[in-house]
Amino acid sequence: MKFPLISFMALAIFLIILNLIFIGWFSIPQSRWIRLLTAAVFLGTYLPKFSRETRLLAGALISFLIADIFTLSYQLESSKDGYFIFHGIAFSSLCLFVTRGTLKEQWS
């Protein structure tokens, strides 16, 4: 069964609204857990459907999830380092994903 793009967009919008509610109304540790859970839900729906062309995007999503795990104990120096390292990996993967798609369009 194929998961349509509109369903991904609806899920993403719902999870963003849920995150904004928890960030505004709950404490920092609770909002960190909710962000981790919503990232895991989105990743869980995306991973079974990703293709070879979108593996950089899947790597970015996994890196963001791992970075969210490091935010749970952000007071430790090693957690701060891991948080920034995995965010760097995620943003680099996203840049490569966008660049490859742009270069393919230019050559065709």
- CB-neighbour burial class of residue 61 (10 A; exposed 0-12, middle 13-18, buried 19+): buried
* Alpha carbon of residue 1 to chain centroid: 23
Residue 91's nearest CA partner among 65, 64, 58 is 64
What are 48-93's pLDDT values in tens digits? 777 777 788 888 888 888 888 888 887 888 888 998 999 999 999 8
CB 71 within 8 A of CB 48: no
pTM: 0.69
Residue 105: pLDDT over 70: no
What are 18-57's pLDDT values in tens digits? 888 888 888 888 888 888 888 888 778 777 777 777 788 8
